[in-house]
Every structure is written in structure tokens, then in C-alpha cells.
Copies of this chain bind each other. A is one copy, B any other.
């Protein structure tokens, strides 16, 4: 098949190039770039020398040639391309937020400050978190006209971490807190003071507290994942992103109130005590639920009790590592998840979606073994 990328020179685009160039079912890449049209990818990214050798063409040429089109563009830019692809029955995998909210245009508008240019396209769109929506993605493929709203990086790690607890009734009511640290590639390729080496090296800092655009996406996912839906329709979520001095990776620590059935019987009310044996046993029980829940998922790893999620163990891979913990008061489930923000958090998940759409093995092109260091 021929894979096309519109916006191939941004970071998500370049990561797609890397993954698709090594994909066994992809025969050829057609790469589009507005900024570098007429140049070639290995000049913009010399890391590709000798491995990828492709001119950068207009978006229209990408669509004309490709069997599947990836769009790695800012929100609000790609709808016109999506429309053409739907008409031509070419699967369209979109990395912006344009197709993540289905027909909930109000939420999109509130957070992204834009209206949909082509609202009707949402009848073809599926939110592309395979672990949640695999059946819908397959149905989209069958329907021939399909747009994938590839998930945001933070929502991927947060949602996969909470999913079993929500679906299996381990989570009780109340606000879920997602506290995440991201590597600097999350800020994209465009230089700015925030991502200038001397300003972010050797430092950790939060940003956009209570105001990050991924908040509604996380909240909506949590609701969709919950067995018995809440009356209000929406799970309250607090999401705090941090910037950490690393290139890749998102570590999310998720605080989920336990349901009554799962709370400690001997709840500690006085001074905190080190974890009791009961706590460790209960954590192991929940760990088993998680392992069972994700048993057939090729990219989710439930870590053993003595191993905590760490971003360096998933680097350059499509894995989401999950470690399961309980706080010492016996009231709160604490989940830590690690993903590579550019792979499972962006390009890799896009390839996973393509694989599902085309009936390829879901791991095709995504078999990288994470390095030990």
C-alpha cells in the first residue's frame, strides 16, 4: 500500500515517516509539507539519510497518490482534506483535535476556539483509541468512509490507566486527578522560549493548570469507559501537565477514588502507617483485574508489583506500561502509566489505527523492542 502524510515535517509527521518507512505492508510513502514543499525529507531530517528518500509535495498530491492519508496538522486546518478523502473513500487518520469529540461541537468550540468547518464529517469519524473503540474502528473500515480522530498524548496514557478501574467497578464516585509529566518533544518542532534548552533543561514545572485542552478529552473518555454511567454524564477530572527535562515520554500518575467494595475495611484514620499486608494483597488483586482486562491487548503491559512505570522502558515503542498501587489510607487507587508521547501518544497509535483499518496485524511496523537504556 501507499501511505501519505500531510504535515510530514512536524514532529508527529517525522515520527510517522520513521514508523511507516519500516512498516512491512507499506510499499511507498508520499510526503506532504507546506513549509518545505519542493525539498526532500532527508534534507529536513538528516537522520533519514540512506533510509528514507522522498520529495516533499503538496497535500493534494498526497491525497491523489495515497491509499491512506495521515494528517499531522494543527487543529482547524485539516477538515478540507478529510472531506476529500471521505469522498474518495480513502481512510483519513487525523492527529489534531478536530475529530476527537464526535458531534460534541460545543466542547470542541469551547476549548479550541473554533467551529467545525464541515460538521457533517463527524458521521464518519471514530475516536481512535483502539483499546476502547476497536470495534467501531473496524466498522468504519467496513463502511469504506472513515476518519480516525487519533487521541491526544496525555489522554492516551490517562485513559488506558483508568479504563479497567472504571469498567470493572473498582472506581467509586468523585473526581479523578491526573498528574502528568511530559518530555519536551510534546511541544513540537517550532522553537520557542518554553522549549529553549537553557530554559527547560534540569528543571520541572507545571503549565496550564486547570486549563489544558486535553482535559475534556480525558473526561469524556473516562465517562465512556465507565460501566454504570454517572447521572451527570461526565466524570469530573482534574488534569495537571508538567514539563520534564527529557526528550520523550509521558508519565501519568492517576488518583482514582475506590468504590466502597474496594475500600479498606480497616481504614486508617490516625497518623499514616506504612502499607499493611492487606493493602498489598488488594493491590495485587486489582493488578490481576488489570492484567485480565488487557490480556489480549498487544501494547498494554501490566507491570509486576515491584516494577513501577518509567518512561525510559517504553522509549521508541508503542507500549503503554501500567503499574497498579494503593495509597496507604486504603481509599484511593493510584495508577502510574508510561508511554512514549510520540509513539503510543501520536504516530504509533496512528499506525496501529491504520493496521486495524486495513486488516494488517495490529503490531505491524510496531514491533520495536524498547532498549534497556
Contacts and interface: CB of A to CB of B under 8 A. Distances in A.
Interface of A: 11, 14-15, 18, 21-22, 45-52, 104, 106-107, 110-111, 175, 177, 179, 181, 183-185, 187, 189, 191-193, 195-207, 209-211, 215-216, 219-220, 232-234, 236-238, 240, 242, 244-249, 251, 253, 255, 268-275, 279, 301, 303-304, 307-316, 319, 321, 323, 325-329, 331-332, 334, 336, 338, 342, 367-373
A110 B328 CA distance: 13
Contacts of A210: 275, 279, 325-328, 334
A242 B14 contact: no
A18 B50 contact: no
B308 A271 contact: no
A11 B334 contact: no
Nearest to A198: B373
A204 B275 contact: no
24 contacts: A11-B373, A18-B369, A46-B304, A47-B313, A48-B372, A49-B303, A107-B271, A179-B253, A191-B192, A191-B195, A191-B196, A198-B373, A201-B247, A202-B248, A202-B315, A203-B249, A203-B315, A205-B310, A206-B251, A206-B336, A219-B272, A238-B332, A242-B253, A368-B368
A175 B332 contact: yes
A232 B51 CA distance: 42
Nearest to A329: B236
Given A191-B195, A312-B203, A175 B331 contact: yes
A337 to B, nearest CB: 10
Nearest to A268: B236
B175 A177 contact: no
Contacts of A110: 273-274
A156 to B, nearest CB: 16
Contacts of A195: 191, 196-198
Given A215-B272, A313-B47, A329-B238, A308 B205 contact: yes
Given A203-B312, A236-B331, A46 B303 contact: yes
Contacts of A234: 269-272
A15 B269 CA distance: 38
Contacts of A238: 255, 327, 329, 332, 334
